[in-house]
Amino acid sequence: MAEDYEPTIIAFVCNWCTYTAADLAGTSRLTYPPNVRLIRMMCTGMVDPKYVIKALLEGADAVLISGCHPGDCHYINGNFKARRRVKLLKEILPRFGIDESRLRLTWIGASEGVDFARTIKEMVSEMKALGPSGLKEQMVL
Ligand code: FES
């Protein structure tokens, strides 16, 4: 595997918790790899499974969905909807030859900038070990 391989991670993050944690990580000058592209959503419950599949098909090596801890969702149960969708996606992805570890769901609260930085570091490390998804190259559109 090429040593210079840098995975791309698309992160759908909830405005109220994980986006704020990512902001806190930045203002706290915590370092984490620049491989992540944040997409701010009002709630993880708004992340349509199609967004995840589209991201993977269009070149993302991994997708992170991250929002409020259970009980803290500003829309009451959006994060539980996200959890059910991720469970189903993890069952479906391997049927398309996609390793289920390329999708991750986490709860990272607004004050948990350290956890956000750690999560990104872990994901980048895991994806480097797993290698490129190669899905985009396999797609014949
Ligand atoms: S508002 Fe954060 S997960 Fe719903």
Q: Is 21 in the pocket of ligand 1 (CB under 6 A)?
A: no
Domain ranges (residues) in the chain? 9-132
Instruction: Give residue 141's pLDDT.
Output: 55
Q: From the CA of 129, how far away is ligand 1's center (Å)?
A: 31
Q: Which ligand 1 atom is the nearest neighbour of the CA of 74?
A: 1
Kindly report the three-state secondary structure assignment for every residue of 75-106: CCCHHHHHHHHHHHHHHHHHHHCCCHHHEEEE
Cα angle 131, 134, 135 (rounded to 5 degrees) comes to: 135
pTM: 0.94
Distance from the CA of 75 to the center of ligand 1, in angstroms? 6
Distances from the Cα of 15 to the Cα of 66, 75, 87, 98, 136, angstroms: 10, 12, 22, 28, 29
pLDDT of residue 57: 92
Using alpha carbons, select from 124, 90, 125, 105 the residue that is nearest to residue 14.
105
Ligand 1 atom nearest the C-alpha of 18 is: 2
Which residue is listed with tokens 């259970």? 70
The reported pLDDT for the residue numbered 134 is 80
Spell out the per-residue pLDDT of the chain, length 141, in tens: 566 899 999 999 999 999 999 999 999 999 999 999 999 999 999 999 999 999 999 999 999 999 999 999 999 999 999 999 999 999 999 998 899 999 999 999 999 999 999 999 999 999 999 999 888 777 755
Task: Answer whether 105 contacts ligand 1 (Cβ < 6 A).
Answer: no
Domain over 9-132 is classified CATH 3.40.640.10: no
